[in-house]
Amino acid sequence: MTRAVFSPAAGSTVEQWPDVDLSTSLGSLDLPAPVLTASGCAAAGRELDQFFDITALGGIVTKSVMLQPRSGRATPRMAETPSGMLNSIGLQGPGIDQFIEKDLAWLDQRGARTIVSIAGSNVDEYSKLAQKLRNVPGIAGIEVNISCPNVENRGLVFACQPDSASSVIQAVRRFSDPKMPILAKLSPDVTDISEIAHAVVRAGATGISVMNTTLGMVINTDTMRPALAGVTGGLSGPAIRPIAVRCVWQIRKALPDVPILGMGGIRTGQDAFQFILAGASAVSVGTVVFNDPSAPLRIQHELAQQLSDHGFSRLRDAVSYAHREADADIVVDIDEEYEVE
Protein backbone atom coordinates (compact mmCIF):
# COMPACT_ATOMS: atom_id res chain seq x y z
CA MET A 1 0.00 0.00 0.00
CA THR A 2 1.38 3.42 -0.95
CA ARG A 3 1.87 5.73 2.02
CA ALA A 4 0.30 9.16 1.97
CA VAL A 5 2.64 12.12 1.87
CA PHE A 6 1.48 15.48 3.12
CA SER A 7 3.44 18.30 1.53
CA PRO A 8 4.00 21.52 3.43
CA ALA A 9 1.70 24.31 2.27
CA ALA A 10 4.20 25.72 -0.17
CA GLY A 11 3.78 29.41 -0.86
CA SER A 12 1.64 30.06 2.20
CA THR A 13 2.95 33.63 2.18
CA VAL A 14 3.44 35.85 -0.83
CA GLU A 15 7.14 36.39 0.00
CA GLN A 16 7.90 32.71 -0.58
CA TRP A 17 6.75 32.77 -4.19
CA PRO A 18 9.10 33.70 -7.05
CA ASP A 19 8.26 36.99 -8.76
CA VAL A 20 6.53 35.37 -11.74
CA ASP A 21 3.18 36.28 -13.30
CA LEU A 22 1.31 32.96 -13.29
CA SER A 23 -1.89 34.27 -14.88
CA THR A 24 -3.04 32.44 -17.98
CA SER A 25 -6.16 31.79 -20.03
CA LEU A 26 -8.01 29.00 -21.75
CA GLY A 27 -9.73 30.96 -24.47
CA SER A 28 -12.15 33.36 -22.79
CA LEU A 29 -11.54 31.74 -19.40
CA ASP A 30 -9.00 33.85 -17.52
CA LEU A 31 -7.17 32.11 -14.68
CA PRO A 32 -4.95 33.68 -12.00
CA ALA A 33 -2.82 30.52 -11.83
CA PRO A 34 -2.04 27.62 -14.18
CA VAL A 35 -2.64 24.53 -12.01
CA LEU A 36 -6.07 22.89 -11.78
CA THR A 37 -7.24 19.58 -10.40
CA ALA A 38 -7.87 16.75 -12.85
CA SER A 39 -11.33 15.32 -13.27
CA GLY A 40 -11.94 12.13 -11.34
CA CYS A 41 -9.19 12.46 -8.76
CA ALA A 42 -10.56 15.00 -6.29
CA ALA A 43 -14.36 14.71 -6.61
CA ALA A 44 -15.58 18.32 -6.35
CA GLY A 45 -12.60 19.60 -4.36
CA ARG A 46 -14.17 19.47 -0.91
CA GLU A 47 -11.80 16.73 0.28
CA LEU A 48 -8.70 18.65 -0.81
CA ASP A 49 -9.80 21.89 0.84
CA GLN A 50 -8.80 20.53 4.25
CA PHE A 51 -5.17 20.34 3.08
CA PHE A 52 -4.83 23.69 1.27
CA ASP A 53 -6.91 26.61 0.05
CA ILE A 54 -8.39 25.37 -3.21
CA THR A 55 -9.10 28.94 -4.34
CA ALA A 56 -5.31 29.43 -4.64
CA LEU A 57 -5.34 27.12 -7.68
CA GLY A 58 -6.33 28.12 -11.16
CA GLY A 59 -9.50 26.08 -10.77
CA ILE A 60 -11.24 22.86 -9.84
CA VAL A 61 -12.20 20.42 -12.57
CA THR A 62 -14.91 18.23 -11.09
CA LYS A 63 -15.29 14.50 -11.48
CA SER A 64 -17.28 13.77 -14.64
CA VAL A 65 -20.97 13.84 -13.82
CA MET A 66 -23.68 12.01 -15.74
CA LEU A 67 -27.39 12.64 -16.11
CA GLN A 68 -28.45 9.97 -13.61
CA PRO A 69 -26.78 8.66 -10.44
CA ARG A 70 -24.33 5.80 -11.03
CA SER A 71 -22.89 3.25 -8.64
CA GLY A 72 -19.95 2.47 -10.91
CA ARG A 73 -18.38 -0.85 -11.78
CA ALA A 74 -17.97 -3.91 -9.61
CA THR A 75 -14.90 -4.29 -7.42
CA PRO A 76 -11.97 -4.69 -7.59
CA ARG A 77 -11.72 -1.60 -9.72
CA MET A 78 -8.27 -0.20 -8.93
CA ALA A 79 -4.84 -1.73 -9.32
CA GLU A 80 -1.33 -0.37 -8.80
CA THR A 81 1.10 -0.58 -11.70
CA PRO A 82 4.76 0.43 -12.06
CA SER A 83 4.79 4.25 -12.02
CA GLY A 84 1.03 4.46 -12.14
CA MET A 85 -2.34 2.92 -11.47
CA LEU A 86 -5.28 1.42 -13.30
CA ASN A 87 -8.81 2.47 -12.46
CA SER A 88 -12.10 1.01 -13.58
CA ILE A 89 -14.41 3.11 -11.39
CA GLY A 90 -17.07 3.50 -14.04
CA LEU A 91 -18.01 7.17 -13.52
CA GLN A 92 -19.62 6.61 -10.15
CA GLY A 93 -21.49 9.75 -9.14
CA PRO A 94 -24.61 11.42 -7.77
CA GLY A 95 -26.17 12.53 -11.05
CA ILE A 96 -26.43 16.08 -12.34
CA ASP A 97 -29.30 17.31 -10.15
CA GLN A 98 -27.69 16.39 -6.84
CA PHE A 99 -24.32 17.59 -8.13
CA ILE A 100 -25.77 21.05 -8.84
CA GLU A 101 -27.59 21.20 -5.53
CA LYS A 102 -24.70 20.11 -3.31
CA ASP A 103 -21.27 20.07 -4.94
CA LEU A 104 -21.58 22.99 -7.33
CA ALA A 105 -23.34 25.11 -4.71
CA TRP A 106 -20.50 24.43 -2.26
CA LEU A 107 -17.82 25.32 -4.83
CA ASP A 108 -19.63 28.55 -5.69
CA GLN A 109 -19.91 29.48 -2.02
CA ARG A 110 -16.24 28.61 -1.49
CA GLY A 111 -15.25 30.97 -4.30
CA ALA A 112 -13.51 28.37 -6.46
CA ARG A 113 -13.27 28.66 -10.23
CA THR A 114 -15.13 25.57 -11.35
CA ILE A 115 -14.93 23.67 -14.61
CA VAL A 116 -17.70 21.08 -14.67
CA SER A 117 -16.78 17.82 -16.39
CA ILE A 118 -19.72 16.03 -18.01
CA ALA A 119 -20.08 12.56 -19.54
CA GLY A 120 -22.84 10.66 -21.31
CA SER A 121 -23.57 7.40 -23.06
CA ASN A 122 -25.18 9.08 -26.08
CA VAL A 123 -25.45 12.52 -27.66
CA ASP A 124 -28.88 13.18 -26.17
CA GLU A 125 -27.51 12.79 -22.64
CA TYR A 126 -24.80 15.36 -23.31
CA SER A 127 -27.46 17.73 -24.66
CA LYS A 128 -29.57 17.37 -21.52
CA LEU A 129 -26.54 17.89 -19.28
CA ALA A 130 -25.71 21.11 -21.12
CA GLN A 131 -29.29 22.30 -20.72
CA LYS A 132 -29.20 21.54 -16.99
CA LEU A 133 -26.06 23.62 -16.55
CA ARG A 134 -26.98 26.52 -18.83
CA ASN A 135 -28.36 28.92 -16.24
CA VAL A 136 -26.58 27.64 -13.15
CA PRO A 137 -24.30 30.19 -11.45
CA GLY A 138 -20.72 29.47 -10.47
CA ILE A 139 -19.54 27.67 -13.61
CA ALA A 140 -16.36 28.95 -15.25
CA GLY A 141 -16.29 26.35 -18.02
CA ILE A 142 -17.39 22.90 -19.15
CA GLU A 143 -15.07 19.99 -19.83
CA VAL A 144 -16.74 17.48 -22.13
CA ASN A 145 -15.44 14.00 -21.37
CA ILE A 146 -15.86 12.28 -24.72
CA SER A 147 -13.68 9.34 -23.74
CA CYS A 148 -16.84 7.39 -22.93
CA PRO A 149 -18.40 4.50 -24.86
CA ASN A 150 -21.22 5.45 -27.22
CA VAL A 151 -23.90 2.86 -26.41
CA GLU A 152 -25.69 3.62 -29.68
CA ASN A 153 -22.62 2.80 -31.77
CA ARG A 154 -21.45 -0.65 -30.62
CA GLY A 155 -19.83 0.83 -27.52
CA LEU A 156 -17.13 2.69 -29.44
CA VAL A 157 -15.54 5.60 -27.58
CA PHE A 158 -16.73 9.02 -28.82
CA ALA A 159 -13.23 10.50 -28.82
CA CYS A 160 -11.85 7.80 -31.11
CA GLN A 161 -13.72 9.00 -34.19
CA PRO A 162 -13.90 12.56 -35.59
CA ASP A 163 -17.60 12.39 -36.44
CA SER A 164 -18.78 11.03 -33.08
CA ALA A 165 -16.49 13.40 -31.17
CA SER A 166 -17.76 16.41 -33.09
CA SER A 167 -21.41 15.38 -32.70
CA VAL A 168 -21.09 15.53 -28.91
CA ILE A 169 -19.35 18.90 -28.93
CA GLN A 170 -21.95 20.33 -31.34
CA ALA A 171 -24.72 19.23 -29.00
CA VAL A 172 -23.08 20.71 -25.91
CA ARG A 173 -22.32 23.97 -27.73
CA ARG A 174 -25.88 24.22 -29.02
CA PHE A 175 -27.44 23.97 -25.57
CA SER A 176 -24.82 25.94 -23.60
CA ASP A 177 -24.46 29.66 -23.09
CA PRO A 178 -22.69 30.94 -26.23
CA LYS A 179 -20.03 32.56 -24.02
CA MET A 180 -19.33 29.40 -22.00
CA PRO A 181 -15.80 28.01 -22.55
CA ILE A 182 -16.03 24.38 -23.66
CA LEU A 183 -13.02 22.05 -23.42
CA ALA A 184 -13.11 18.72 -25.24
CA LYS A 185 -11.28 16.02 -23.28
CA LEU A 186 -9.50 13.71 -25.71
CA SER A 187 -8.27 10.14 -25.50
CA PRO A 188 -4.71 9.14 -26.48
CA ASP A 189 -6.00 5.82 -27.84
CA VAL A 190 -6.21 7.07 -31.43
CA THR A 191 -3.96 7.00 -34.48
CA ASP A 192 -3.91 10.77 -35.03
CA ILE A 193 -5.01 12.90 -32.08
CA SER A 194 -4.65 16.12 -34.08
CA GLU A 195 -7.41 14.89 -36.41
CA ILE A 196 -9.78 14.53 -33.46
CA ALA A 197 -8.69 17.94 -32.16
CA HIS A 198 -9.48 19.57 -35.51
CA ALA A 199 -12.93 17.93 -35.51
CA VAL A 200 -13.96 19.11 -32.03
CA VAL A 201 -12.71 22.66 -32.62
CA ARG A 202 -14.72 22.87 -35.83
CA ALA A 203 -17.71 21.63 -33.83
CA GLY A 204 -17.44 24.44 -31.30
CA ALA A 205 -14.88 23.52 -28.66
CA THR A 206 -12.97 26.55 -27.44
CA GLY A 207 -10.12 24.46 -26.10
CA ILE A 208 -8.71 20.97 -25.63
CA SER A 209 -8.14 18.94 -22.46
CA VAL A 210 -5.48 16.34 -23.14
CA MET A 211 -5.09 13.67 -22.19
CA ASN A 212 -7.48 11.23 -20.58
CA THR A 213 -6.17 7.90 -19.29
CA THR A 214 -4.98 5.30 -21.76
CA LEU A 215 -6.44 1.80 -21.75
CA GLY A 216 -4.47 -0.82 -19.84
CA MET A 217 -4.77 -4.19 -18.17
CA VAL A 218 -3.19 -6.17 -15.34
CA ILE A 219 -3.27 -9.93 -14.81
CA ASN A 220 -3.25 -11.21 -11.23
CA THR A 221 -0.70 -14.03 -11.37
CA ASP A 222 -2.07 -15.65 -8.21
CA THR A 223 -5.62 -16.02 -9.51
CA MET A 224 -4.42 -16.04 -13.14
CA ARG A 225 -7.35 -13.76 -13.95
CA PRO A 226 -7.64 -10.04 -14.78
CA ALA A 227 -6.97 -7.97 -11.65
CA LEU A 228 -9.92 -5.67 -12.38
CA ALA A 229 -13.52 -6.83 -12.39
CA GLY A 230 -14.03 -4.75 -15.52
CA VAL A 231 -10.97 -6.45 -17.12
CA THR A 232 -9.46 -3.23 -18.51
CA GLY A 233 -9.00 0.17 -16.90
CA GLY A 234 -7.58 3.63 -17.41
CA LEU A 235 -3.83 3.91 -16.85
CA SER A 236 -2.70 7.11 -15.12
CA GLY A 237 0.36 8.35 -13.25
CA PRO A 238 3.96 9.11 -14.30
CA ALA A 239 4.03 6.17 -16.73
CA ILE A 240 1.81 8.07 -19.17
CA ARG A 241 3.50 11.48 -18.94
CA PRO A 242 5.64 11.14 -22.11
CA ILE A 243 2.52 10.16 -24.05
CA ALA A 244 0.65 13.16 -22.69
CA VAL A 245 3.45 15.59 -23.52
CA ARG A 246 3.53 14.16 -27.04
CA CYS A 247 -0.23 14.69 -27.40
CA VAL A 248 0.04 18.31 -26.26
CA TRP A 249 2.93 18.88 -28.66
CA GLN A 250 1.08 17.42 -31.64
CA ILE A 251 -2.11 19.36 -31.00
CA ARG A 252 -0.21 22.62 -30.50
CA LYS A 253 1.65 21.98 -33.76
CA ALA A 254 -1.60 21.36 -35.63
CA LEU A 255 -3.68 24.06 -33.91
CA PRO A 256 -1.32 26.81 -32.74
CA ASP A 257 -4.09 29.17 -31.59
CA VAL A 258 -6.28 26.70 -29.66
CA PRO A 259 -5.82 26.72 -25.87
CA ILE A 260 -4.76 23.44 -24.28
CA LEU A 261 -5.23 22.16 -20.72
CA GLY A 262 -2.50 19.52 -20.35
CA MET A 263 -2.51 16.56 -17.98
CA GLY A 264 -1.07 13.12 -17.46
CA GLY A 265 1.37 11.96 -14.78
CA ILE A 266 2.30 15.37 -13.40
CA ARG A 267 3.98 15.03 -9.98
CA THR A 268 6.34 18.02 -9.84
CA GLY A 269 6.68 21.56 -11.11
CA GLN A 270 9.30 20.34 -13.56
CA ASP A 271 6.76 17.91 -15.00
CA ALA A 272 4.25 20.73 -15.37
CA PHE A 273 6.92 22.91 -17.02
CA GLN A 274 7.32 20.29 -19.76
CA PHE A 275 3.63 20.59 -20.59
CA ILE A 276 3.83 24.38 -20.71
CA LEU A 277 6.84 24.28 -23.03
CA ALA A 278 5.04 21.74 -25.24
CA GLY A 279 2.08 24.08 -25.67
CA ALA A 280 -0.30 23.82 -22.72
CA SER A 281 -1.57 27.09 -21.24
CA ALA A 282 -2.51 25.37 -17.98
CA VAL A 283 -2.22 21.90 -16.44
CA SER A 284 -4.39 19.55 -14.39
CA VAL A 285 -2.97 17.45 -11.56
CA GLY A 286 -4.62 14.14 -10.75
CA THR A 287 -3.27 10.79 -9.59
CA VAL A 288 -0.56 12.26 -7.35
CA VAL A 289 -3.21 13.58 -4.92
CA PHE A 290 -3.96 10.03 -3.79
CA ASN A 291 -0.67 9.93 -1.88
CA ASP A 292 -0.02 13.68 -1.60
CA PRO A 293 -3.30 15.61 -1.23
CA SER A 294 -1.59 19.00 -1.18
CA ALA A 295 0.36 18.29 -4.39
CA PRO A 296 -1.54 20.74 -6.66
CA LEU A 297 -0.45 23.79 -4.66
CA ARG A 298 3.08 22.42 -4.22
CA ILE A 299 3.36 21.83 -7.97
CA GLN A 300 2.11 25.35 -8.67
CA HIS A 301 4.85 26.75 -6.45
CA GLU A 302 7.49 24.52 -8.06
CA LEU A 303 6.32 25.55 -11.53
CA ALA A 304 6.74 29.21 -10.58
CA GLN A 305 10.27 28.39 -9.44
CA GLN A 306 11.02 26.56 -12.70
CA LEU A 307 9.85 29.57 -14.70
CA SER A 308 11.97 31.93 -12.61
CA ASP A 309 15.03 29.68 -12.85
CA HIS A 310 14.73 29.64 -16.64
CA GLY A 311 14.41 33.40 -16.93
CA PHE A 312 10.66 33.74 -17.47
CA SER A 313 8.85 36.55 -15.67
CA ARG A 314 5.48 35.47 -17.13
CA LEU A 315 4.06 32.01 -17.63
CA ARG A 316 2.48 33.11 -20.92
CA ASP A 317 5.95 33.65 -22.40
CA ALA A 318 6.86 30.00 -21.74
CA VAL A 319 3.78 28.50 -23.43
CA SER A 320 4.93 26.59 -26.56
CA TYR A 321 8.51 27.78 -26.06
CA ALA A 322 9.86 24.37 -27.09
CA HIS A 323 8.37 24.92 -30.55
CA ARG A 324 10.72 27.82 -31.32
CA GLU A 325 13.17 27.50 -34.18
CA ALA A 326 16.56 26.09 -33.27
CA ASP A 327 19.15 28.81 -32.64
CA ALA A 328 21.46 29.21 -35.60
CA ASP A 329 24.55 29.28 -33.41
CA ILE A 330 23.93 25.78 -32.10
CA VAL A 331 23.47 24.16 -35.50
CA VAL A 332 26.45 21.93 -36.17
CA ASP A 333 27.80 21.45 -39.67
CA ILE A 334 28.48 17.71 -39.75
CA ASP A 335 31.05 17.99 -42.50
CA GLU A 336 33.06 20.63 -40.63
CA GLU A 337 32.79 18.95 -37.24
CA TYR A 338 33.96 15.60 -38.55
CA GLU A 339 36.23 16.61 -41.40
CA VAL A 340 37.98 13.66 -42.97
CA GLU A 341 41.69 14.23 -43.59
Is 247 one of the annotated active-site residues of the chain? Answer: no
Give DSSP secondary structure letters for 221-285. Answer: TTTTEESSTTSEEEEESGGGHHHHHHHHHHHHHH-TTS-EEEESS--SHHHHHHHHHHT-SEEEE
Give DSSP secondary structure letters for 19-63. Answer: S-B--EEETTEEESSSEEEPTTSSTTSTTGGGTS-GGGSSBEEPP
End-to-end CA distance of the chain: 62
Looking at this protein, which amino acid is placed at residue 101?
E
Looking at this protein, which amino acid is placed at residue 192?
D
Q: Which is nearest to 205 in space by CA: 257, 144, 149?
A: 144
- Specify which residues 143 forms β-bridges with: 117, 183
Query: Residues 65, 119: contact at Cβ < 8 Å?
Result: yes
Q: Which residues are catalytic?
A: 148
